[in-house]
Chains A and B, each alone.
Chain A
Amino acid sequence: MIRTFDIMLKDIHQILIDRQTFLFLLIMPVAFTFLFGYASGGFSSGSSDSRLPVGYITRDDSWFSQEMHELLADSEVIRLQEFPANKLDEMDKLIANEKLAAGIIIPERYGADFLKGKPIKITLIADNSATSTTTVKSAILSTLIRLDSAAQTANIMEQMIGNRTPFDYIFEETLSAWETPLIRISKIESSAIDPEVNETLAYISPGMMLQFAIAGLMTCAQIIVNERKSRSLQRLFTTATRRIHILAGHYLAILGIIFSQFTLLILFGTFALKVNYLRNPPATFLVAFASALCIAALGLLIGVVSKNEDQAVVFSLIPMFVFSGIGGAWMPLEFTSPTFQKIGHISPIAWAMDGFENIASRGLEFNSVLIPVAALLGYATAFFILAAWRFQVSQEH
C-alpha cells in the first residue's frame, strides 16, 4: 500500500520536471482566460451598463405609476428589468440567485391611493444585509419624494388656481423643476452584484481551467506510456508490487496534479478575476474535487490505452476539444438550444461547469452542486474501471 504513495510521488516528480506541465496546467488557462475574457468584453466595464439590475412588476396602470416607472428607468443607479405581474416567481428566483439586486412591486390602485394621500406601500424584495439594497432603497425613495413633492405642489396649485390649469400639466411642469433631486444618491458599489465583469469571467475561468486540465493530461499520460515503453513497468511487475497499487499510484499522482491546478486557478479566479468561487467554499471544493477525480481517471485511461507519446497527446487533445466544446467551456450552454444542452451533458465538462456556475454565477445553494458532483463521480468511476480493465488485459499473455 505504501508503494502506491511511492509511485505517486515518483510520478509527480516526473510530471513536475516536465516543463510542458506548467505550460498546459497553469500558463495556458490563465492566458486563454484573459484572451477570451477580452474577446467577449468581460474586462471592458467602462462601456457596459454597471447599474444595479432591479426587477419591476406593476399591478397598477395609472398614469402616476407610469410616471414613476419612467423616473426609475432613467435612474443612474438602477436598471429596471420589467416582469409581467404573473412572473413574480421568476423575479424572486433571480433575486435569490443574486442576478437581480432587488425587486419592486407596485400594488393595485397605487396611483389613485397615492394621490388621495393614503398610506402607500411599494413592496421591495431584497436581501436586507446587502449594501446594494440600501442603494436601491434610496433610489426608490428619492423618486417617491420627487413624485410626492410634485403631487403636493400640483394639489396646492390646483387649489390656488382653481380648475384653469389641468392637474397633470402642472404635475409635469413641477416635476421637471425637480430635475435636481432633493436627495442625491451617491453611487455605491454593490458587493452582491458586480454586473457584467464577472458574468463573463465566471464561465470563462472554470471553462479554461477544465479544458486545460484535460490538455495537461498529455504529460501525465506520457509518464504512464513511458513507463511501459521503457520497460520500467515490466520491471515493476517483477517486484512484489500489486498491479492495483501501481494503477492507484498513477491515479493519485494525476489527481494530485489536477487538484493542485484547480486550487491555484480557483484562487487566481477569485482574487484576480473576482469570480465568486468562494461564495460557497464547501460546494466549490466538492465540485473541484469531483472534477479532478473525473479528469484524473480520464488521464489514467489515456495513459493506459496510448501506445506511444504521440497517441498520448492526440488522445488528450481530442477529449479536450470535444468535451470542452460540447460541454460549455467556451460558451455557456444556457445560450444553446435545449437539445444541445442535453447533448452537451454527455460531456463531464458540462456537469463540472454546472457545478462551478451554480455557485460562482447563478448564486445557488450547496444542494445545487450535488447532481453535477454525482455525475462527475459516475464518469470518474467509469473511466477508472475502463483503465483498470485495459491495464489488466494489456499485460496478460
Chain B
Amino acid sequence: MDAIEVNDLYKSFGDVKAVQGVSFTAEQGTIFSLLGPNGAGKTTIIAMLSTLLRPDQGDAKIMGYSILENPMGVKSVLGVVPQEIALYEDLSARENSTFWGKMYGLRGSILKARVDEVLEMIGLTDRAKGAVSKFSGGMKRRVNIGVALLHKPQVIYMDEPTVGIDPQSRRNILDSVVALKNQGMTVLYTTHYMEEAQELSDKIAIMDFGKIVASGTHAELVKIVGQLDRITLTINAEGSQVLETWKAISGVAQISSENGFLTVLAEDSNLVLPRLFDSAASLNVRITSVNILEPNLEAVFLHLTGRALRD
C-alpha cells in the first residue's frame, strides 16, 4: 500500500514557482528521499503534505487521508521533523518532549515511558533537565527529531535533519532513520547530500526548480548516466596529441576533447588512471588536473541539469 500518494502539486509564492507539478508515491514501510539543491522546493512540498500550506493545485493522500479534505486525519498519522529547530527553547528537553507528547495525544504513564525512551534514543537522558537554549546545535537537532517520534507516527517527514551538525550526530541520525523504517514507519526524507539519499533510500526523487527531474531506486537513477566512471583531465598540451593513443588504452570506453578538457569514460577509473599517467609520461605530456566522477546521484544530477548538486 502507498502511505504517501502525491498528485500533481503546485505552489507559487508570488512570482516564485516553488513547486511545479510534483507527483510521487511512497510505499508503506519504506524511506523515500527528495534530493535537490537549496531552493528546489523540498520544504514547500513538506509544508503542503503537513497541511501547513495549501497547494495552488493538486492533492495528496497520507495513509489515505487527503491533505485538502481531511487535514486532521493527516495530522493524526503524522510526525514532522521541520528543517528549522522548532522547540520552546526556554523549556528543558524533557519539558519539551512531555509537552509535544501531549500534543500528539499521549498521556500518563505511556507518555512518561515514551519520553524516557526518546531521550535515551537521542542520547540526552543526562541533559534532559537543561534548557534547550543552552544546548549545542547538534543537541537541539536531536531534540527536534526526538519530539516528532514520541507517538510512533505511521508516517514521518524529516526535512534536512542533518544540516549543520557534527559527523557523529549525523551518523546517529542516519542510523535512527533506518531504525524507524525497520519499525514499519514510512519516512519522507529530504536532503541535498546525495550520500545520504543513496545510503538511506528505497526510492529517490531528484528535484530541481520545483520539479522532479528523475525518480526511482538508486540503481535505476544511476543507469541514466550509464555504468561508467567519468574522468575529466587537463594536460599541458593540445588534447589532439593524446586523443588517438588514449582511445586505444584498454578500459577506456570513450574519449572526447572539448574546451581544453578531456573527458574519459571508463569502466573502472582505478585501473585506467595509472595507464593514462604512464602513457602521458611516454608522450612527454603532463597531466595537470584530474577529476573522477563515479556513476552516482551527483553525476545523474549533473547530467540532467548541467549543474552540480552543491552549488
Consensus secondary structure, chain B interface: loop
Asked if residues A234 and B52 are in contact (CB atoms below 8 Å), the reply is: yes
Asked if residues A14 and B90 are in contact (CB atoms below 8 Å), the reply is: yes
Told that A234-B52, A239-B103 touch, could you supply 17 new A-B pairs with CB distance under 8 A? A3-B103, A6-B102, A14-B90, A14-B91, A18-B90, A227-B88, A230-B88, A234-B82, A234-B86, A235-B80, A235-B100, A237-B50, A237-B51, A238-B50, A238-B75, A239-B75, A241-B103
Note all chain A residues with C-beta closer than 8 A to B100: 235, 239
Note all chain A residues with C-beta closer than 8 A to B53: 397
Residues of A1-45 at the interface with B, using a CB-CB cut-off of 8 Å, are 3, 6, 10, 13-14, 17-18
Q: Which of B52, B86, B99, B102 contacts A230 (CB 8 A)?
A: B86
Asked if residues A6 and B103 are in contact (CB atoms below 8 Å), the reply is: yes
Asked if residues B103 and A236 are in contact (CB atoms below 8 Å), the reply is: yes
Asked if A232 is at the interface of the complex by the 8 Å CB criterion, the answer is: yes
Asked if A231 is at the interface of the complex by the 8 Å CB criterion, the answer is: yes
Asked if A272 is at the interface of the complex by the 8 Å CB criterion, the answer is: no
Q: Which of A13, A237, A396 contacts B91 (CB 8 A)?
A: A13
Residue of B at shortest CB range from A396? B54
List, sorted by A's number, 20 A–B pairs whose CB atoms are closer than 8 Å: A6-B99, A10-B91, A14-B90, A14-B91, A18-B90, A226-B88, A232-B86, A232-B87, A234-B82, A237-B52, A238-B50, A238-B51, A238-B75, A238-B78, A239-B100, A240-B72, A241-B103, A396-B54, A397-B53, A397-B54
Q: Show the binding face of B for A, using Cβ within 8 Å.
A: 50-54, 72, 75-76, 78, 80, 82, 84-91, 95, 99-100, 102-105
Q: Show the binding face of A for B, using Cβ within 8 Å.
A: 3, 6, 10, 13-14, 17-18, 226-227, 230-232, 234-241, 396-397
Note all chain B residues with C-beta closer than 8 A to A235: 80, 82, 86, 100
Note all chain B residues with C-beta closer than 8 A to A6: 99, 102-103
Asked if residues A10 and B84 are in contact (CB atoms below 8 Å), the reply is: no
Asked, given contacts A13-B91, A14-B90, whether A239 binds B104 with beta carbons under 8 Å apart, the answer is: yes
A268-B88 Cα distance, complex, nearest whole Å: 34
A235-B148 Cα distance, complex, nearest whole Å: 9
Note all chain B residues with C-beta closer than 8 A to A241: 103
A18-B131 Cα distance, complex, nearest whole Å: 13
A236-B86 Cα distance, complex, nearest whole Å: 9
Asked if residues B102 and A3 are in contact (CB atoms below 8 Å), the reply is: yes
